[in-house]
Structures are given as structure tokens and as C-alpha cells.
Structure 1
Amino acid sequence: MIQGAEPVHGYSFPESLLSPVKAVTGYRQLWVALSGGLDSTLLLHLAARCHSGVRAVHINHQLQANADETEAFCENLCAELNIPLIIRPVSVGLGTGPGEGLEEAARKARYNVFEALLNPGDVLLMAHHGDDQAETVLFRMFRGSGVAGLAGMPESRPLGEGRLARPLLGVERSELERHAQNAGLSWVDDPSNTDTKFDRNFIRLSILPALKERWPGLNQRLRHSAKACSESDFLNQQLAELQWQTIGGEERRLPVAGLITLSLAEQTNLLRWWIRRAGYHTPSVNDWSQVLQDLLLAAEDRSPELRANHYSLRRFQGQLYLVPESQSLPKAPLKLQSGQTVHWAEWTIRLSRTPTAKTDLPPIRICTRQGGERVRFHLDGRSKSLKKWFQEQAVPPWERGRLPLIFLGATGQEELIAIGDLWCSGQYCGSAPAAGLRLIVERDCD
């Protein structure tokens, strides 16, 4: 349902609304996320008053009966304001992670669109306000979040190749509604916003009003708490990074000997920071002390593991590894031709021919370990068991069966010339490979 009256042109919005929008500077392209609701509609008007060259993006989740009506409203609004509009329909299914219902799935779908849309230097404005922040803090508190979650939504953060900004985060929703009505703006109400089966709606409609009546100025109180949590989280991250450097941590590995010198709180803080630094969500763990005891103090002949969403934590030879979720391996060996690029799970394999290469190339085959393989590291040297070499090089067990092994020659006379990105025969690498073939094996970035 469309709310509001016909727009009254020339309405003077107060500086309390204009100033935070004007403060968004240094962008290549300014976007406004336009849902068609009161908040984003008002934000679009403010952005149009404060900036030139504004563009808008509307995500049609195709979930509500009035989805088409809302899309048409956004088209008409942008046409009236002479603002280019991009419409992106998305299909929303239930989330696959723990606790991911329709709300979270819809959020992920639209943020995926935003990330793909933004180019370097772009800024996307979103209309979250003070009531949204209070709702977020309470929602995360009820879910048992730590200080990082209780810090609420940041005013600005990276998003894809651009940035997200929330200029109205310090403004009460009642103030936005008052000025939208005084300006005669129209907007579309989302009927799902009154459905209290959704957690956020329940907090907004059933919890926040009672709390505000009991404690006037609740939003401001929660903003102060969120700011204090944000500062604590910042200090926690600074401490974690310092301790990570001190114990000799790497991007995907942490030395167990260094970790056990820290207190339980410091271990937990460091692991959370390390996981977030790698781009993953920290696992939902009720008892970190038990998890850390299993990971760090288990007997040397054990292989403890903590599985999480899209990654796992594993221990091997005194190191704690962060292991990304494995990609699927090819079901059969692959052949490699000159000038060809082949993808093998997370590895990219390329073969090029130099001027000294022979006309007829022997067959080259890529496969995984089958058992019994041997490798000769020097032309005149003795061969060595691949199993023994893996042990000597401390290659983690979970990687040994995934590494692409590259063989050259006819069946029965094959020679192992490369082991993943760990080793390549000198005959087939370098600027002038002796065999006339240059083999490049690279592990793709996670």
C-alpha cells in the first residue's frame, strides 16, 4: 500500500538530516539502495538535494504480493527525480547456515547484488536509522553475540569493491517519519513488516515500544553501549594482531606452542580475529575452553578438527590450520596439451612450449595420488617414495590426496614432473626449461 500524499516540492529538510548525507564525499559514483519504503524514499530525496549524479538500485525479492507495485513505485519516483534506476530481481531460498531463515536469506541475496554492482570508489547509501541500530543490538544480544556483534551496524564499511555508508544511523525513525509526512512524500509499506513471526519484527513491534516507555531515550542508551562495544572490539583486534605477530602466526597457520602460552581469553580472542581476518564467520561455540583443549592439548597421534561453515580448524605437527572447504576434484585424470590451461579444484595448471620444444610432445596426464608413486628430484639421482617425501615436507594429510600429480610419458614409462604447486622438475620450469616445455602450477587464492 502506498502511503503519504503528493510530494510537496521545495520542502526545506533540516540540517540534522542533510548534514550526514552531505558528509559522504570522495566517491566515484554514489548509489542509494531504494526499497520503496519510507526510510529509503526519504534518503533518496536527501541524496538528490545534496549530491549530483546519484543513481539508485532496487532489489525485487519477489516475496510479497505487492512486489510489482513497489517496483513500479520506485521507477516512477526515480523518473520524477531524474535519477537513473537499476532493478535487480532475486530468487530467495531458505539459508543453509545455522539459524538462517527467510530474513537472513533475503539479506544475503540483496547484499550479493550490491557487492557485484559496486566498482572501486563507489559508495552505496543505505537508510538504516537509530531504531534499526537499537533493534540490531537487541537482536544480537538475544542471540548471545559478543562485543563485535553488540557493536551494532557500523556507519561505514567495505562492500565488494566499494563502500557502504549509513548516514542516518544516528537519527530516530520518528524524526524521519515526521519530515517525510511534512514534505508530503509517498512510499510503499512492506506488508511483511507487521508479521511478528520474524524475529526483528517481534523486537520492533513487541519489545522496543515497551522498553522505550520504561526507559525514555533508549535508542541513545543503546548507541552508547554499541559504541563502547565497538571500542572494545577494536582493542581486542589490536591485541590479537600483536599476539599473532609475536607467536609467528601465518595467514592459514598458527603455532600451537605459541597459542598455549596465552590465557584462555586471549586464545579465544586470537582465534576469532584470525578466522574473521580470513573472511569467515566465527563458529557458534558454547564452550571455547573445551574446543581449545581438544585442538591444542590432544595427544600428538590424534588429529582434532573443528568443522565450521565453509572451513575447518585442524591440527598437524604442532600447527593449527585454517582449512577452506574443499572444491570438488575431477572424477577422472585430465590430459594437458601445449598452450592449454586446466583447472584442478583450487589449482590452475598451464603448459607452454618454448622454441626448443620438440614437434611431437609426449602425453601429459594429471591425476591424484593412487599409492606407490615415486619421484626423482635429480636426473642422475635415486627416486624417492612420494609418501616419504610428503612426510619429510610436513604436507598435511588432508592435502596429500588432493594435490594434482603431473606425469609425462607413455603408460608404463611415465615420469612424475610436478607435485601440485610444491615442486616442479627443473626440466620444465624457469625462463629456459631444458625440455622446451614450461609448466606452471598455481594454487588459486581462496
Structure 2
Amino acid sequence: MTTGAEPDHGFAWPDVLCAPVRSLPEHSRLWVALSGGLDSVLLLHLAAFCHRSRVDVHAIHVNHQLQPNANETEAFCRTQCAALGIPLVVRRVSVNIGQAGGNLGGVEEAAREARYAVFEEILGPGDLLLLAHHADDQVETVLFRLIRGSGVAGLAGMPRARPLAAGQLVRPLLELERAELEHWAREAGIEWVEDPSNADQGYDRNYLRHTIIPGLKARWPGLARRVRHSAGACADSEFLNERLAERQWTECSKGSRALSVPALQALTVVEQKNLVRWWARKRGFRPPVVSDWSQVMHDLLEAAEDREPELREEGFRLRRFQGWIHLVPEQPEVPVSPVTLLPGEPLHWAYWTLTLESVANPESPSRPIRVSTRQGGERVRFRPEGSSKSLKNWFQEQAVPPWERACLPLVFAGSGDAGELIAIGDLWCSEQYSGGAPAAGWRLVVRRECD
């Protein structure tokens, strides 16, 4: 444990530290991510003494159970919060070192993912989570991402604020250097715990921190300011990239959920790359990392009509069908046997959610409603007096992609072979079960969960 000097009588927190905490956005609750280290303990004190109200301040400590002093650090955090009168939430997590690949960088990333999963679980609407990252952390992040070959989005570094779950993440100390924070922590007599892993240069960030960055600072004393300037320029560039992608999405999607091949062909490879990466991020996936975008886009856009080109990425694929490029998430498993859809109980089925809502409020549907996948030979009658049509032919007419046909929820009213097809995913629903006053007294609502 490290302890600062006893503060002089009448010690007052400097405005350079208090101002960022006083100017936080409006919020319902304020959370401080408390690791026990110098930076987070200092931030906890700033939230307690500089924030406009201590009533809404809470702290979160995530015990990764990786370091030999993990339990002692947890106890220290409890003591600190008790002394300040700040409620503390402690969560212990298990980091799967095996899945991390056995290397220190993988362990570090797995611990980060576990930590952020806790943050996302705890944050409620209107909550702010404060992280104690500072200017030296930003330098490490930018250099680390530069070495890994990141683009402008990565080289923009850590943002001062961003949405997180139902709340928002804020880094109020991001423009202050660690030496300055340590100076004021010692002046205030604050205690903190040193993480023993911080000295292990087997971690890439620690190697940068202890071996590389000191030499850079000695040569260029304004290193943090220089890096902040470059990171800001990269952030501006990424903002423009996103604005361009949004405009080109509108032009190339033509109101659909896919991208037109001819419209994509009219763009340069750089624009195609920017649009595809933006699309993946918008859908919640990591953007593709491709060594030769020219080849990938040529294969997707120029392959013969009888081919089925695709780009496989983590969690999704880009696939072409009838002149359109589709982003297809990995298909979730769907039940092998038919499932009964019960009133008021949403059924999650692959990319869809189905709900049966009462309108006329009968005791129960007159015929059981069941959901299944396509088995072959199904026919659909779109009007009571009309003739039936093969579902296979209808899929072809509607240009339903083959990968959707296999998992599309088909909804039947009735049992066994006598069942009537009343809905085809979110593509069609019988008027008996749709509209403001469905004749069956029940409304079937089918929503596609992915755009």
C-alpha cells in the first residue's frame, strides 16, 4: 500500500482536478470504477469532495481474482468507500485464462471484457460511470494500437465520453498526466494499492509504459499533448468517415436491409471498405480486418451470377444474392420440432420474435398456434377465396435469400396436417390474425430483431 503525506491543515482540492468532475453531464446516479490504484482512488475522492452532490455517488469494484493481493485490494476498496460514506458494489469475476490463449495480452483482454460486462449489467438509464484513465494511458493506447496496425478509429484513442449499456461512460481525467495526479494524491495524503502486475513487462502495455514511453518523453517532453493532438485529428477523420458511410448507405441500400451491387460497384475500393466496416459496426460486430480489400470486393461484386461469394467474419458473413450484398449474422439454433405459441409469451426464433396478443379477449385461441421451420411441400393461401401457392415458388418470387428460408418461422393455426399457414416470418400474415380488429380475436405480431 502506498500512502501520501499527511495533508496540510485546510488542504483544498485544486480546480484543475475538480473542474472536470463538476462539469459532468446531467445524470441520475454517478458510479466510479474503483480498482484500488492511485488513479481510481483519487477519482473516488474527487467524486466525494468536488462533485455537486455526494448523495448519488456509488462505486464499483471488479475483483478479477488474478493477482495474489486481489482479496486485500477488495478489502481496501471497501474500507475507502466506508470512510467516505460511498456505497460500494463488489463483483467477483472468473477470467477464463484458457480461452485467452495462455498469453498475457489475451488475459488482459479477457479481464477487460469481464470488467465491462459487469459495468453494462449495473448501469441503469441516465447513469454515468467514471473511469480514471489519464493522458499517459491515452499515450499507451494510441502507441499500442499503432503497433497493432489500427486505422484512424483505433488511433483516435479512448474517447472522453461514450454510451455504455443504458448509461454513459466518462473519463474526466483524460487530459491530465499521471505525474500530476500522483502529486496531488500525495499532497492529499491518499492511500492506494499498487497492482503487482503493473511491473510485469510481459504485458505489452507495461513494456510501453516502463521501457518505451520514458525515452520518448525525455526526447519530446510534450509527448502527451502531441499524441492528444494526433488522436483528435484521427477522431475527426473517423467522424467524417462515418458521415460519408451514412450517406452512401442511404444511396446504396435504397431503403432495404442490404446493399445494391451496382451501387457498390460505382464506389471506389476505399469507399466500399469504409461502408462495409461501418455497416458491421452498426450491426454490433467487429469490422472486418482484411489484407486485400480490392480482392475481397472484386470477389463479392464481380463473381458470376451462378456463384455464391461470401466474406466470413467473426459472428457474421457478407453474402450476395440476386444483385444485393447481405450482412448475415451467424444463424442461431431453432427448434427441430414445432413449438406452441402461447398468448402473451414472446417466442424468440432465430432473427425474429413472435407474440400472440389478445384483441377480443377470448379465453384461448380457437385453434392452437404452432411455429416451425420449413419441412417441404408447404402451400399458402393469401385470400380465403383464392387458390393456394407453393411456398417454394413464393420464396423465389419474393427473392427471399436461401439462408433465411431455412430458419424463417412459419406459423400455423390448427393441428397436424390440417393446420393452416397463417404467417411467414415478418413477410406476410393472414388478415385473420392481423390489423386493428383481426377476425380470429387474436393478433399475431412478428418482429425481425436485426435490421
**TM-score bucket (shorter structure):** over 0.9
Contact 1:353-1:437 within 8 A present in 2 as well: yes
* Pick aligned residue for 2:239 from 234, 237, 244: 234
Cα distance in 1, alignment partners of residues 364 and 14 from structure 2: 77
- The answer to whether residue 383 in structure 2 is matched with residue 378 in structure 1 is yes
1:61 equivalent in structure 2:
64
Shift, 1:281, TM fit: 1.5
Contact 1:133-1:169 within 8 A present in 2 as well: yes
Contact 1:252-1:323 within 8 A present in 2 as well: no
- The answer to whether residue 72 in structure 2 is matched with residue 72 in structure 1 is no
Shift, 1:13, TM fit: 3.0
Cα distance in 1, alignment partners of residues 407 and 318 from structure 2: 18
| SS of equivalent to 1:315 | strand
| SS of equivalent to 1:247 | helix
Q: Which amino acid aligns with 1:93?
A: N
Q: Which amino acid aligns with 1:430?
A: G
1:150 equivalent in structure 2:
155
Cα distance in 2, alignment partners of residues 323 and 96 from structure 1: 26
Shift, 1:431, TM fit: 2.9
1:286 equivalent in structure 2:
291
- The answer to whether residue 434 in structure 2 is matched with residue 429 in structure 1 is yes
Q: Deviations over 1:197-220 (max 9, x none)?
A: 222112112221222223222222
Contact 2:370-2:412 within 8 A present in 1 as well: yes
| SS of equivalent to 1:231 | helix
1:215 equivalent in structure 2:
220
Cα distance in 2, alignment partners of residues 247 and 440 from structure 1: 29
Equivalence map 1:289-308=2 (5 Å): 289-308=294-313
2:29 equivalent in structure 1:
29
Q: Which amino acid aligns with 2:179?
A: S
Q: TM-score with structure 1 length normalisation?
A: 0.93
Cα distance in 1, alignment partners of residues 361 and 95 from structure 2: 55
1:61–1:247 Cα change, 3 Å: same
Q: Which amino acid aligns with 1:12?
A: A
Equivalence map 1:264-413=2 (5 Å): 264-337=269-342, 341-352=346-357, 355=360, 361-413=366-418
Contact 2:360-2:442 within 8 A present in 1 as well: no
Cα distance in 2, alignment partners of residues 264 and 141 from structure 1: 23
Q: TM-score with structure 2 length normalisation?
A: 0.92
1:251–1:181 Cα change, 3 Å: farther
Uncovered stretches (5+) of structure 2, i.e. residues with no partner: none
| SS of equivalent to 1:59 | strand
Contact 1:95-1:104 within 8 A present in 2 as well: no
Shift, 1:191, TM fit: 0.8
| SS of equivalent to 1:418 | strand
Cα distance in 2, alignment partners of residues 365 and 255 from structure 1: 36
2:140 equivalent in structure 1:
135
Shift, 1:345, TM fit: 3.0
* Pick aligned residue for 2:84 from 81, 84, 88: 81
Cα distance in 1, alignment partners of residues 245 and 434 from structure 2: 40
1:117 equivalent in structure 2:
122
- The answer to whether residue 182 in structure 2 is matched with residue 180 in structure 1 is no
| SS of equivalent to 1:412 | helix
Identity %: 59
Shift, 1:249, TM fit: 4.9
Contact 2:273-2:293 within 8 A present in 1 as well: yes
Shift, 1:443, TM fit: 2.6
Shift, 1:124, TM fit: 1.1
Shift, 1:41, TM fit: 0.7
Q: Which amino acid aligns with 2:12?
A: S
Contact 1:41-1:187 within 8 A present in 2 as well: yes
| SS of equivalent to 2:417 | coil
Deviates more, 1:348-357 or 1:163-172: 348-357
Shift, 1:390, TM fit: 0.5
- The answer to whether residue 13 in structure 2 is matched with residue 4 in structure 1 is no
2:175 equivalent in structure 1:
170
Cα distance in 1, alignment partners of residues 187 and 5 from structure 2: 11
Q: Which amino acid aligns with 2:244?
A: L
2:38 equivalent in structure 1:
38
Q: Which amino acid aligns with 2:390?
A: S
Cα distance in 2, alignment partners of residues 154 and 215 from structure 1: 24
Q: Deviations over 1:233-292 (max 9, x none)?
A: 111112222222233455741112111111111111122222222222202211111111
Q: Deviations over 1:288-339 (max 9, x none)?
A: 1111111122112222111222222111111111222222211321123556
Q: Deviations over 1:339-382 (max 9, x none)?
A: 65433333333335565979883443321111121111122222
Uncovered stretches (5+) of structure 1, i.e. residues with no partner: none
Shift, 1:133, TM fit: 0.1
Deviates more, 1:359-368 or 1:152-161: 359-368
Shift, 1:190, TM fit: 0.7
Contact 2:100-2:110 within 8 A present in 1 as well: no
Cα distance in 2, alignment partners of residues 95 and 287 from structure 1: 32
Contact 1:330-1:345 within 8 A present in 2 as well: no
Cα distance in 1, alignment partners of residues 100 and 289 from structure 2: 11
Cα distance in 2, alignment partners of residues 101 and 435 from structure 1: 56
* Pick aligned residue for 1:92 from 91, 95, 103: 95
Cα distance in 2, alignment partners of residues 13 and 220 from structure 1: 24
1:62–1:363 Cα change, 3 Å: same
Deviates more, 1:359-368 or 1:373-382: 359-368
- The answer to whether residue 53 in structure 2 is matched with residue 48 in structure 1 is no
Count, aligned residues: 445
Shift, 1:406, TM fit: 1.8
